Structure 1
Amino acid sequence: MNQAQTQSQTESKLYTFDEFIAWYPENSPVRYELYDGVIVEMPKPRGKHSKLTGSLIERLLITIREMGKGDIWTIPRESIVKPYRDKSGYEPDIIILNEETISTETRWEAESVIQNASSVKLIVEVVSNNWQDDYYDKRRDYEVMGIPEYWIIDYAALGGREYLGYPKQPTIFVYELIDGEYVKTTFRENDSIKSPTFPQFNLTAQQIFDLALKTGNAEA
């Protein structure tokens, strides 16, 4: 099913989250997300986007092991985050889950659905052409859910000038939840990433951007 077919299917109906999950094709080769009741086909990560995402997963897993959290913090291949609004649902590029609290997720085993912020240590979105989703919808909903840390990696400088300046520059934003609100820190070029969840993470913004050029077969 292509995006035009998906949009045609949803024109006459707004889906709830539960209807979206029931509709979601099993073993689908493409990803879908739900935005205000509308099912949207998401571009499958390819090329630089896929290399960066796959390589960053490798680096995060190394850091998790170095922190002694290898047995309790995991990065699933697929998951769908259910925000409080009943007509939206997102599949993050990277999500780090806490196995110590995942037992509270009643829909995880059967549907790979995450509903509780306590299950999440970090969410990362690598920006594509639909950059507004990461900067607006997801940032808002992750904040309301109480997700403790959220990264936006805009390696291709696709976002708006409000965020990236002029001329636009590749940028990483780290949002930390403090007193129920996200506090944003901006990283560019040789700035070292400062992460409250991963104090041992030692890459600069440019080193993360360079992961998009890594040779090999990294998969998102």
Structure 2
Amino acid sequence: ALDTNHLIEYSHGNIEVLPMPSDKHQSILGHLYTDFLALAAKTRGKVLFSPLRLRLWPGKIREPDLPFLASARDPRRQNQFWSGADLVVEVVSPDDPERDLMTKRREYAQAGIPEYWIVDPRSGTISVLTLVGTSYQEESYGRGQQARSVNFPDLSVDVAAALDAD
């Protein structure tokens, strides 16, 4: 067993040590979680707070900050891990922004995740990425705007309220 107090992800046979989330990171997630819970109630879906393993393909596991399934009865939902999601959210880590902005974007698209939200406190934006074919189409929202899901019309998030959550 790996003896560490760090979060890790398994990628291509390698263990990646992740930065621990900050208070701000968790506050933003807490705010978003309540918005996603309301959506889950409407769709009879399921949203969870990290850590939860999401298997993108054999040998590739990620732990998105918020994974969402539109139906709690979706067969991809398993006890040990989910084998897909309808939407995932990542809050950009200041310690490794490339992981969320580039690497996970590419991997989630390759895995066929239909919608990926990137919350970037540094730029003050929430980007909603919708899978079109094999790549994402991006729409970014800033303070004073509502980030809106393309695939779930009942989901909108006040960008400033999410970024300023305390």
The answer to whether TM tops 0.5 is: yes
Distance apart, 1:31 and its partner CA: 1.9
Partner of 2:117: 151
- Please say which structure displays the higher CA radius of gyration: 1
- Counterpart of 1:153 in 2: which secondary structure? strand
Deviations 1:59-106 (A, max 9, x none): 2112332xx22xx311234421222363x321111001232322x56x
Runs of 4+ in 1 over 3 A off after TM superposition: none
Native 8 Å contact 2:10 2:62 kept in 1: yes
- One-letter code aligned to 1:114: W
- Root-mean-square deviation over aligned CA pairs: 2.2
Native 8 Å contact 2:36 2:47 kept in 1: no
- One-letter code aligned to 1:74: K
Q: Of 45, 64, 70, which residue of structure 1 is paired with 2:40?
A: 64
Of Structure 1 and Structure 2, the greater strand share is in: 2
**When the two structures are aligned, how many residues end up with a matched partner?**
163
Say whether residues 1:74 and 2:50 are aligned partners. Answer: no
Aligned mates of 2:10, 2:147 — CA distance in 1 = 31
Structure 1: stretches of 5+ with no match in the other structure: 1-22, 158-168, 215-220
- One-letter code aligned to 1:149: E
- Counterpart of 1:200 in 2: which secondary structure? coil
Q: Of 7, 17, 20, which residue of structure 2 is paired with 1:41?
A: 17
Q: What aligned pairs does 1:133-152 form with structure 2 within 5 A after superposition?
A: 133-152=99-118
Say whether residues 1:113 and 2:81 are aligned partners. Answer: yes
Partner of 1:126: 91
Aligned mates of 1:175, 1:189 — CA distance in 2 = 18
TM-score (norm 2): 0.85
Native 8 Å contact 1:171 1:205 kept in 2: yes
Aligned mates of 2:2, 2:39 — CA distance in 1 = 33
Of Structure 1 and Structure 2, the greater helix share is in: 1
Aligned mates of 1:24, 1:134 — CA distance in 2 = 24
Say whether residues 1:31 and 2:7 are aligned partners. Answer: yes
Q: Of 163, 179, 187, which residue of structure 1 is paired with 2:133?
A: 179
Partner of 1:90: 62
Partner of 1:8: none
Structure 2: stretches of 5+ with no match in the other structure: none
Aligned mates of 2:16, 2:133 — CA distance in 1 = 33
Partner of 2:30: 54
- Counterpart of 1:63 in 2: which secondary structure? helix
Aligned mates of 1:58, 1:24 — CA distance in 2 = 33
Native 8 Å contact 1:175 1:184 kept in 2: yes
Partner of 2:74: 101
